[in-house]
Amino acid sequence: MSWIFLAIINVFATAVANLYQKIAMREEKSDPISSAIAFQLLTGVCYLVFALIKGFQLPPISLAPYFLGTMTFYAAGTVFIFKAIKLIEASEMSIISGVGAIVTIITSMIFLHDTLSPTQLIGAGCILTAVVVINLKKNGFVINKGIWYAMAGTALYGSAVIFDTTIIRVFDAVSFIPIGSFGTALVMMTAYPKKLPRVVQQLKKIDKNLLIYSLLYATSTIAFYLALATGAKVGQVSTVVRSAIILTVLLSSVLLKERHDMDKKIIGAILTTIGVILVSN
């Protein structure tokens, strides 16, 4: 199977997954925290099956601090993202996700001593402009609570990449994914022990929308790693998968009726896509 086909699978799985996350969380009775925990457990099962097929390995104990770091950041990030999608649209969430790329390059400069190129600086400017565009209202520039949650979540995800990079440099990436997912769920359960009964209830009577979201999200991640395994360069695959941002905006307008301010959303989606591609180079 060619890398481009796998990248396309990633794009469609990501875009449709974004819609199902919103569908799952727009129910009045849905709880962001217990749903976030259930999501990490469900995706963890998918990743573990994939890892067992490919050849699962246990990590060296020396990586424990890095695993703890990435699990903590992903746990906090997942909670914020699920709180955000409860309040904002899937299209807005997709556009805001570009903020994570900016945080990644900033933290990479600080902790991994990477350098910031003029191209990346332009990309960061495009992403920030996209955030401004989708939050421009008649009464000025307004950022609601959902947008703040979204930016916090994507920023935490972007910071977690630093730990991920350190781990993957010396440990098998396929084995790392399920450990990280289950560990992230464990961190959240430790932080929110009162949510455990509701998590158990959700897993017994799984919300089909949350289940579909988890399966599609896991599929997109696995397709990404399989694309890289074919020998494709990270830059090649990353460039293709960024189109999921635009596809999410288009699909959400048709299937979720998120049609207000479409001009701003399309401009924001294009700017974010361009920005993330430039930042990734």
Instruction: Name the residue type at position 279.
Output: V
Residues ≥6 apart with Cβ < 8 Å to 25: 32, 35, 82, 85, 86
User: For residues 210 and 56, is the Cβ–Cβ distance under 8 A?
Assistant: no
Bin 47: left if φ > 0, else alpha if -120 < ψ < 50, else beta.
Answer: alpha
CB atoms within 10 A of CB 200: 12
Residue 158 Ramachandran class (φ > 0 left, ψ -120 to 50 alpha, else beta) = alpha
User: Tens of pLDDT along 163-187?
Assistant: 888 898 899 989 999 999 999 999 9
Which DSSP string corresponds to 140-157? EE---HHHHHHHHHHHHH
Question: Could you tell me if 281 and 120 are in contact, meaning their C-beta atoms sit under 8 angstroms apart?
Answer: yes
pLDDT 10s digits, 228-260:
777 776 666 777 888 899 999 999 999 999 988
User: How much is the mean pLDDT over the chain?
Assistant: 89
Length of the chain: 281
Residues 91 and 250: beta-carbon distance below 8 Å: no
- pTM of the shown model: 0.90
Predicted confidence at residue 161, as pLDDT, reads 82
Which stretches does DSSP call E strand in the chain? Answer: 136-137, 140-141
Query: Two tokens at 169?
Result: 């440099």
